[in-house]
Amino acid sequence: MKQFLSFVRKEFIHILRDPRSLLILLVMPQIMVLLPGYVIKNEVKDIRVAVLDQSRDIYTEQLTQRLYANEYFIGKGEVRTEEEAAELFKKGEIDLVVVFGPEFANRIIHSQDASVQLLADGSEPNQASVRVAYAQQVVAGFQKELAQQMAQTGTGQPFNIRVNSRMLYNPQQRSEVNFVPGVVGMVILLICCMMTSIAIVREREMGTMEILLASPLPSIDIVLAKLVPYMIISLIDMATILCLSYFVMNVPMSGSLMVYVITAVIYIFTSLMLGLLISTVVNTQLAAMLISLLLIVPTIYLSGMVFAVESMPVAAQIASNIVPAKWFISASRKIMVEGVSMEYVATEIRALAIEGLVFMLLAWRFFKTRLA
């Protein structure tokens, strides 16, 4: 029994002496519990709304002010045409457009149906539905208060404000249009990040890395040779998922396939560099696999794959900017669903490239330190 307890004590000492083991065993479980509770919010906040006013009367002005004063909305001014609104949707500057029909006040006064149309970005169907529902509540509240005022003053007859909604880019609100970009992003991250880190650490763990580095090939060529197969496999998987999505699930590719491939290649490069960075800071395949898997949890929550980034707390929104999958999923949705050109995803491409370069420089620095 004494020998058994001595072995138990020895194992505890090994764990306590290894900061990475402590991180994985004690800290990460707490993060995995706290992060969902902090990030996941059922409500959608900071809805950027613009107005297309074809009537320009006192009632449309009052309803616009009521909309802008609501805690869930942020006023983004007025647009003059639906084409201008579509351009702002593509740039990612607005989430909703409220269109007032002609003779809005006149129709209310004469007990006719006044019309309001809500235009929303359907590329994220769940968030779009919530945004439309919030706007409908504001319109319903305005109608109720206005009817009460008219009844008290005896200045009007019963009326109705008819609200219609129209989803741009995904009018059927199909959920597969939303999750396919996320699936591609997660598959690439798993292959490039986890498998790359494990492959490189395995060479070091088996003692073959030193033999490879002693060969005439430069060390950078050896590292690149380890990365290229996973890049090719990621491209094959991406092509397979896209083909299945397009031919089986009828998920559109509205934009340029070339722009999508360019974005994906940059994302693959960034994921490979992240895997390379992980391989330089761990010593075992198990540690490489655990850290890679643990990265998946915050990626799912912070990438916008499932939950809207705009609805998260400010700290979570800032943290999401360092998650490569966020930028890839955002660009993928714009290209596949909205059909935008490269200029509309320049921000996402730039962010992915910068993160990839940062990961590469850090990995190379740590790699050289290990060789020294």
Q: DSSP letters of 250-292?
A: -----S-HHHHHHHHHHHHHHHHHHHHHHHHH-SSHHHHHHHH
With both helix axes pointing from N to C terminus, report the angle between 175-189 and 285-302 in degrees, rounded to the nearest 10: 160
Q: Are residues 107 and 179 in the same domain?
A: no
* Residue 125 DSSP label: H
Q: Are residues 186 and 268 in the same domain?
A: yes
Contacts of 104 (CB under 8 A, 6+ apart): 54, 55, 57, 59, 60, 114, 115
**Residue 213 banded pLDDT, cuts 50, 70, 90:** low
Domain of residue 126, CATH code? 3.40.1710.10
Q: Are residues 328 and 239 in the same domain?
A: yes
Q: Which domain covers residue 272, as residue numbers?
A: 174-371
Q: Are residues 157 and 182 in the same domain?
A: no
**Average pLDDT, integer, range 11-36:** 64
Q: Determine the 3-state secondary structure of 219 from DSSP.
A: helix
Q: How far apart are CA 140 and CA 194, in angstroms?
A: 51
Q: Are residues 257 and 200 in the same domain?
A: yes
Q: Are residues 236 and 269 in the same domain?
A: yes
- Tell whether 92 is covered by a domain: yes
- Tell whether 323 is covered by a domain: yes
Contacts of 102 (CB under 8 A, 6+ apart): 54, 55
Q: Are residues 240 and 337 in the same domain?
A: yes
Domain count, the chain: 2
pLDDT-above-90 percentage for the chain: 14
**Average pLDDT, integer, range 210-228:** 73
Q: Are residues 256 and 220 in the same domain?
A: yes
Closest by alpha carbon to 93, among 76, 81, 80, 70?
76
- DSSP assignment of 64-77 equals HHHHHHSTTEEEEE
Any idea what the Cα angle at residue 78 is, between residues 335 and 156, rounded to 5°?
Answer: 125
- Tell whether 35 is covered by a domain: no
Sheet holding 47-53, edge to edge: 73-78, 47-53, 96-100, 113-121, 160-168
Q: Are residues 204 and 289 in the same domain?
A: yes
Q: Where is the domain boundary, 131, 150, 168?
A: 168
- Tell whether 305 is covered by a domain: yes
> Strand 73-78 and strand 96-100: pairing?
unpaired
Closest by alpha carbon to 334, among 173, 178, 109?
178
Q: Are residues 154 and 223 in the same domain?
A: no
> pTM for the full model?
0.80
Closest by alpha carbon to 35, among 332, 286, 323, 357?
323
Q: Are residues 264 and 326 in the same domain?
A: yes
Q: How far apart are CA 129 and CA 141, in angstroms?
A: 18
Q: How far apart are CA 95 and CA 100, in angstroms?
A: 17
pLDDT, position 146 = 82
**Average pLDDT, integer, range 79-83:** 87
Q: How confident is the prediction for the chain on average, in pLDDT? A: 81
pLDDT of 37 > 60? The answer is no
**According to the per-residue pLDDT averaged within each range, which of 40-49, 76-85, 177-186, 290-299 is highest?**
76-85
pLDDT of 308 > 80? The answer is no
**Residue 372 banded pLDDT, cuts 50, 70, 90:** low
Q: Are residues 267 and 317 in the same domain?
A: yes
> Strand 113-121 and strand 96-100: pairing?
antiparallel
**Average pLDDT, integer, range 352-361:** 93
